[in-house]
Amino acid sequence: MSHLSRLIRIATAGATAAVFATAIHAQVPVPPNATLVASGLNGPRGLAFGPDGVLYVAEAGAGGKLSTAGACTQVAAPVGPYTGGTTARISKIKDGKTSVVTSGLPSTVDAMGDVIGVADIAFLDGDLYALVSGGGCSHGNPTLPNGVVRVNLKSGKWDYISDLSLAIAEHPPAYNTYNDFEPDGVPTSIVAEDGALFAVEPNHAQVFHIKADGATKLTYDFSYPFADVTPTSIAFREGNMYL
């Protein structure tokens, strides 16, 4: 997946949808029914509108060069090993201008060149939370785990409220697919609902419930012995969870 991508706005059937245009070596042309909203994004992933009406974008970054081979369990080839760094960030797009909200977040690149970093973002009670998926020792970031961080929108500083690398280690899946097992997991989606956050981790096929005070618990385990059941996204409507 391309490190640099663009955000475009597409008008369809009277509605407006924001999507990312990505390419491996070059930017894809903007469709005729689309408007370029932002460019130069570094591995854009999840996005959300804040209470201020501004669009915020999670960026995976470009990984790094730090290797932890020999220090901890690594992801098996051909995906692993990973090398880590702190190139992930979050940007905002306002009035056609892009600016960085916070940076220095964990990012990692696998042996095939795919990058993971900040996977998604969500707002809870006016605060911005980011789902980190490029952290953990197996991703070359031994001091920065996978988890959820809260971002101060004024200062740009961020702090962990939940260590999902630890939570995943403490709650191994009922069934394990060892051929692509990720020791730190690869959480992909987060949503705010009923005063808390819910994060999806597809490699272990689990959903975690996270409170603003950091209390973290396993909500669901979808691992299955005969198939790779991997929920990758989450949404709520009328009290029901959709995966």
**Same-domain status, 6 and 71:** no
**Same-domain status, 207 and 172:** yes
**Same-domain status, 24 and 120:** no
Instruction: Supply the pLDDT for residue 214.
Output: 97
**Same-domain status, 133 and 191:** yes
Instruction: Supply the pLDDT for residue 78.
Output: 93
**Same-domain status, 52 and 37:** no
Instruction: Supply the pLDDT for residue 64.
Output: 98
**Same-domain status, 79 and 89:** yes
Give how many domains the chain has, as a whole number. 2
Instruction: Supply the pLDDT for residue 148.
Output: 99
Instruction: Supply the pLDDT for residue 230.
Output: 86
Q: Which structural domain range is residue 222 located in?
A: 43-242
Instruction: Supply the pLDDT for residue 66.
Output: 98
What single letter denotes the amino acid at residue 138?
Answer: S
Laid out side by side, the sheet with 158-163 consists of 118-124, 127-132, 147-151, 158-163
Instruction: Supply the pLDDT for residue 186.
Output: 97
Identify which of 116, 60, 69, 64 has the alpha carbon closest to the alpha carbon of residue 88: 60
CA–CA separation, 142 vs 66, rounded Å? 10
Question: Tens digit of pLDDT per residue, the chain (243 long)?
Answer: 344 455 655 544 444 344 444 433 456 778 888 888 898 999 999 999 999 999 999 999 999 999 999 999 999 999 999 999 999 999 999 998 999 999 999 999 999 999 999 999 999 999 999 999 999 999 999 999 999 999 999 999 999 999 999 999 999 999 876 677 899 999 999 999 999 999 999 999 999 999 999 999 999 999 987 777 789 999 999 999 999
Using an 8 Å Cβ cutoff, are 63 and 30 in contact?
A: no
Instruction: Supply the pLDDT for residue 242.
Output: 95
**Same-domain status, 36 and 50:** no
Instruction: Supply the pLDDT for residue 177.
Output: 65
CA–CA separation, 52 vs 145, rounded Å? 30
Beta-sheet pairing, 127-132 with 118-124: antiparallel
**Same-domain status, 200 and 112:** yes
**Same-domain status, 3 and 89:** no
Q: Which string of DSSP letters, residue by residue, matches 73-124?
A: --PPTTT---EEEEEEEEEEEETTEEEEEEEEEEEEE-TTS-EESEEEEEEE
Instruction: Supply the pLDDT for residue 140.
Output: 98
